Amino acid sequence: MSKNILVALDNSDYADKVMLQAVELAKLYKTSLLGISVIDDSYFGNINETYAIETRDYWTISVQDVLDNCMKLAGENGIDFSQEIVHGNPAEEIIKYAVKKGVDLIVLGHLGKSAAAGFLIGSVAQKVSAHSKCSVLIVK
């Protein structure tokens, strides 16, 4: 039985689907949700500093919008939802955050967006599932 559920969200098409699954699990287990979005700043290192700042700001606003929508959905379902945006390698940060918060289950999508390029990737879900110390639910 999961008592701490972490839902990892980006601004991809899968975020809504992932959050819906996480809310259903939180209702089933009568628990709150922790939401995390990770912005990979390594993508901004090789571009003009002004553009990097603008791009980083865009992604921060974009993922904050996703988290805010998820907070609204959780609230509508009577689920407490806390959220955080962190910077770094997405898989590593999700795993570190899960350990730090004593998470029992991580819920994330099998595809997401890389922070700068917007390409679909599957390596974050793969790395999290391979290296996490807790259970991982990958939503398709």
Hey, where are the domains in the chain?
Answer: 5-139
Handedness of CA 77, 80, 84, 90 (dihedral sign): negative
Q: What is the pLDDT of residue 3?
A: 81
- Dig out the tokens for 73 from the structure: 């959905």
Specify whether the CB–CB gap between 12 and 120 falls below 8 A: yes
Specify whether the CB–CB gap between 41 and 26 falls below 8 A: no
What CATH number has the domain spanning 5-139? 3.40.50.620
Pairwise CA distance, residues 118 & 5, whole Å: 27
- From first to last of its 140 residues, the chain has per-residue pLDDT tens of 568 999 999 887 778 899 999 999 999 999 999 999 999 877 766 667 777 778 788 888 999 999 999 999 999 999 999 999 999 999 999 999 999 999 999 999 986 544 434 344 458 888 999 999 999 999 98
What's phi and psi for 46, nearest 5 deg? -105, 20
Handedness of CA 136, 33, 113, 46 (dihedral sign): negative
Q: What is the pLDDT of residue 2?
A: 60
Q: DSSP label at 102?
A: T
42, 91, 95, 109, 121 from 12: Cα distances, Å: 19, 16, 20, 9, 10
Q: Which long-range contacts (CB under 8 A, 24 or more apart) does 47-55 make?
A: 55/116
Q: What is the pLDDT of residue 114?
A: 47
Global confidence as pTM: 0.86
